Amino acid sequence: EPEVTQTPSHQVTQMGQEVILRCVPISNHLYFYWYRQILGQKVEFLVSFYNNEISEKSEIFDDQFSVERPDGSNFTLKIRSTKLEDSAMYFCASSARRPNQPQHFGDGTRLSIL
């Protein structure tokens, strides 16, 4: 069964450094998403991406964050100048052609900021 894959599974970074989290969505999906989950809390929406542009973003997704689809398979989340409170699980998801289709999630990247 096709799945969303994310790398790395765990990223440890010094505060103030930049990180890039990588995702390979399901191959025939057109909508891509990033979510985060701080330990013990709800999964929170960050951003959705369609047709090579951001279609929706939350108040969490400020200028520190950016997303990119650099080629036909990868979808990345960049966090510039990381802060301690950026420590969380970051999940990538993708869905098929239309909105209101199931979003399928990867297993996440655990980001630890020291």
| Residue 52 contacts another protein per CB under 8 A | no
Of the listed pieces 12-20, 34-42, 64-72, 75-83, which binds another protein according to CB under 8 A?
A: 34-42
Q: How far is CA 99 from the centre of its chain?
A: 18
- For 46, residues 6+ apart whose C-beta sits below 8 A from its C-beta are 33, 34, 35, 36, 57, 58, 60, 61, 65, 77
Considering beta carbons, is residue 1 or 14 the nearer one to another protein? 1
Q: Is 31 in the site for another protein (CB under 8 A)?
A: yes
DSSP letter for 59, please. Answer: T
Residues lying near another protein in the complex (CB under 8 A): 4, 6, 31, 33, 35, 39-45, 48, 50, 55-56, 58, 91, 99-100, 102-108
